[in-house]
Amino acid sequence: MSKPSDALNSPYLVVDVESNGKDFRHDPEARLTGVAIAYRFNGEVFSLFHPWDQLPTEWADVIRNHPCRVFHNAKYDLVALATSGINVTHLPFYDTMLMGHWIDENMPNKSLDFMSKRYGGKPKLKPPEIKAAEKSGRWDLIPLPILAEYAKNDAFITLELFEKLYPRFTEEGYAGELWDIEQKFVRLIIRMESYGVRIDKELCKSEIAYGIQRMEEISRELKANVGSRDDLEVLLIDVLKLTPYKISEKTGKPSFDKESMAHYEFELEQRNDTTAKLVLEYRGWQKAVSAYYKSYLQLCSRSQNVHPNFKLHGTRTGRLSCEKPNFQQVPRKSSSRWNRNNKAVIIARNGWVLFEADYANLEFRLGAVYSKEPNMVKPLIAGVKPFDAMAELLHGPHWTDEQRQACKVETYMTSYGAGTAKIAKVLGISPEASKERRSRFWQAYPKLLAITRKAQRNAEIRGYAPLWSGRRRHFPYKSECHKAFNSIIQGGAAELVKRIMLRLADLLDWDECRMLLQIHDSIVFEIREDKIDTWLPVIRTIMEDVGAIHSAFKLVPFPVDIKKWGEK
């Protein structure tokens, strides 16, 4: 029989909450419907469930007072519990979802069902009533006996999963300081998401109306529907004579997937052709209307705020990803009409001002730190913009903007592991010319080449690439190890920004200045109008003092560009 005293004396306590499907971060109708607990005592596993309105005081106290709670998706469960009167957000916890992600970020699915089965455990229970609730969102209609068995099973398989993950988690060095930092970061993301960002609903509506009108006009002018796959093939391949970038194995026809369209759109941008411009404009409005303006309106809470979901397990590199809506895809700057207002619809609350603080060329600077390449380090110390210096080194003192842009594209594509053939396609040059450019690039930056090759060799031997923080990027297949150095840089950037955010979170007075968003290498702040002069210098000082995070970063400056949100 389950006893509260036994549960308190167990080494860890799994807590799984069930709700009515509403968002606890902003919806006043969000309610917990039940809580399941699992623990191991004297070698035996106990799992129990209580309807939330019947949770005995002694079991509520167990949740509050246990030395170590375990969740699967702690970010959700902690908010749900705190909103319902059991605030344990500030106390130690583990999260099997994040633990599994750290151990194997290549795992395609981090759901409890997938991870439990992957590690030899039982699946989640999926009776018809649960499937219906997943489809409709009406979790409050599940009969209590079915909900009880479902929740008890979730708690049980979470406990078993934790016991299987923890030894490997500890072996890789994650269970100490690194996990302490991650717990703090989870708490920070919870705080940021709770504020959300204010949305200008009327501007969203006007942009939707204008965008739909323009797409209809373009379709009439082209006599084709750019949103149709078949019409798109006619326009790109038959009319504009673009060479198919990729052929679908399934259909044998040109592919128009995300990667292919990025290539086609790059080619279209180089053309001074009416059809090309109209295709680009249609696709620009198509994305802006659906991914930005409509999405913002649909997700807007009663308080006119949007509360994005930042996923700490959403990328292999360790960077945050974002959904509902995806603020990570908001363009930094754009001259195109369809992107003109996608930042303007995100507004400050009354009496506040939004600012964006953005690291300049963060990954390039980390590459300089790792490689200690003089032709990268010296210009950065002198304050020269990195791609200006690169264009001069490769093309002489009279370089052009086009040559500078090509340097930038080639640098980042190379760091992402792209070969000369792919770079040739993107730059619109011959494979031979691309090989010659690559050769000159590596001759100019020999230490960067050396560290890139070293990272690849080490990844092939170890099966992973270590980040400066102690986190690892795993490579189960040697064919992927050419991405090792890029992973070290991207993951290292994510770890650096994370620690900077935590330093800021400790220093800021959130009644005067608060963090709302992280968008790759930038942080968005909302500052009270009368406190702008107080907090902007603090933000700059903390963000640029990366040497306080790791002494190696003192090699080059890490400047931060701070401007009002939406300013060019």
pLDDT of residue 408: 84
Angle, vertex CA 45, rays to CA 42 and CA 51, nearest 5: 130
Quick one: how far is CA 482 from the chain centroid? 22
Q: What is the pLDDT confidence band of residue 416, given thresholds at 50, 70 and 90?
A: low
Measured distance CA(530)–CA(543) in Å, rounded: 22
Per-residue b or e along 364-385, where b marks 16 or more CB atoms closer than 10 Å to that residue's CB: bbbbbbbbebebbbebbeeeee
pTM (predicted TM-score): 0.92
Which 3 state secondary structure label does DSSP give 209? helix
Q: Of 284-288, 384-388, 403-407, 525-529, where does the model show the most confidence?
A: 525-529
The string of pLDDT tens digits covering residues 427-472 is 777 888 888 888 888 999 999 999 999 999 999 999 999 999 999 9
Angle, vertex CA 161, rays to CA 155 and CA 165, nearest 5: 145
Alpha helices in 223-273 (DSSP H): 229-233, 258-269
Q: Is the pLDDT of residue 525 over 70?
A: yes
Q: Is the pLDDT of residue 262 over 90?
A: no
What the block records as the tokens of 460 is: 């092939």
φ/ψ (deg, to 5) at 281: -65, -45
Q: What is the pLDDT confidence band of residue 303, given thresholds at 50, 70 and 90?
A: confident
Which domains, ranges and CATH numbers included, belong to the chain?
4-195 (3.30.420.10), 198-306+316-347 (1.20.1060.10)
Pair 293, 204: CB distance under 8 Å: yes
The string of pLDDT tens digits covering residues 96-128 is 999 999 999 999 999 999 999 999 999 999 999
Q: How far is CA 488 from each of CA 101, 496, 547, rounded to the nearest angstrom?
A: 17, 12, 18
**Average pLDDT rounded to a whole number, residues 342-360:** 96
| Residue from 94, 75, 3 nearest 41 by CA | 3
The string of pLDDT tens digits covering residues 194-251 is 999 999 999 999 999 999 999 999 999 999 999 899 999 999 999 998 888 889 888 8
Pair 549, 499: CB distance under 8 Å: yes
**Average pLDDT rounded to a whole number, residues 173-192:** 97
